[in-house]
Amino acid sequence: MAATSPLRLCSWNINSVRLRLPLLQRLAQAAGPDVICLQETKCPDPLFPALDCAALGYPYQALAGMKGYNGVAILSRYPLEEIRVHDWGNRQDCRHISARVCGVAVHSLYIPAGGDEPDPEKNPKFAYKLGYLTAVASGLSALHRPEDPAVLMGDFNVAPLPSDVWDHRKMLRVITHTPVEVDHLRRVQDSCGWVDAAREFVPSQQRLSTWWSYRAADWRAADKGRRLDHVWVTPALKPRLSGYTVLTEGRDWDPPSDHAPLLLDLASDPA
C-alpha cells in the first residue's frame, strides 16, 4: 500500500447510545464515516450495543463507558491499535479514549461541562473543568509531537471564538464562553500546535454552531447555537485536510441529540 487511504471521521455527542442507536444507522447512511467518535454514550461497556454497531459496518470498537453519565467510544471500519483510556481528572469518569486507525491517532474527548456559576472558588464543577483542561494540555503534549498524524475530536464544552456563540457580549459570563475557559482551551491547543480544522474551512468571522439547546421550542428559529464540538489536527495532518461539515440535519433526527455530528475528511497521504 503506497499511499494511505482517504479517511472520513465523525464526532458526535449522541447523548445516550442505546436510546439513539437507530440514529447511528441514519448517520452511517447519510455520511458513511469510516470512524465515529462518540461522547456521552451513558452506557457501561458490557451493555454497549457492540453487535448492532458491527452490523452497521463498525466491527472495531474502543469503549470507555460508565453508568448514567459521560462515556466515550471510537467505532471504526478499520482495525484499531494502541487503544488507550485517559483519565486526566483521576475520577475514572470516562471522558477520553484514543486509538490508532490507518496510521492516524484518533482521540474521542469529552471535556466536563462545568456547571452554572462561572467562579471556580464557588463552583467545584467549574474548578474541575479548568483543572481538566490544564491536565489535558500537559497530557497531550506528552503523547504527541506536531509531526505526528493525530486527530483530536469531541465535545470540548468551550466555544472559543466570538463567532462560536450567538451573542459574544451576552455570553461572556456564561460557562462555555468565559474568557478563563477560552484561555485554558487555547493552552490545550498550543500544547501541540493543534489546528482548528473547522476554521480552515469556515472563516473565523462566520457564525458556526454544533449544539442547540433542547429548551428552545424551535431550535432552528431560535438560532442560539454554540460551537462546543471541535475537531483539531496536528500540523502534520494539515496538508490532508479536505473537508469539514456540521451535519446540521442530524439535530432533527428523532429523538434528537442536542449536538449535531461533525465530519472531517482527510485526503490520502501524498507521500
Partner DNA sequence: ATGACGATTCAAAATCGA
User: How many Å separate Cα 132 from the centre of its chain?
Assistant: 15
Residue 113 within binding range of DNA, rule CB under 7 A: yes
Helices 179-190 and 124-143 meet at what angle, rounded to 10?
A: 10
Whole-Å CA distances, 216 to 27, 143, 258:
24, 40, 11
Tell me the number of residues near DNA by CB under 7 A.
Answer: 36
* Nearer of residues 17 and 106 to DNA, judged by Cβ: 17
Residue 152 within binding range of DNA, rule CB under 7 A: no
Q: Specify the DSSP class assigned to residue 237.
A: G
In angstroms, the CA 108 to CA 102 distance is 16
Among 228, 231, 233, 263, binds DNA (CB under 7 A): 228
One symbol per residue from 58 to 97: x for binding DNA (CB under 7 A), - otherwise; what is it?
---------xxx----------------------------
Alpha helix (H) residue ranges in 56-195:
124-143, 179-190
Residue 42 within binding range of DNA, rule CB under 7 A: yes
User: Please, which residues bridge with residue 259 across strands?
Assistant: 211
Candidate segments 1-9, 51-59, 174-182, 183-191, binder of DNA by CB under 7 A = 174-182
| DSSP-based three-state secondary structure for 262 | strand
Question: Shortest Cβ distance from residue 240 to DNA (Å)?
Answer: 29
Residues forming contacts to DNA in the complex (CB under 7 A) are: 13, 15-16, 18-19, 40, 42, 67-69, 112-116, 118, 125, 155, 157, 170, 174-176, 211, 213-217, 222, 224, 226, 228, 255, 258-259
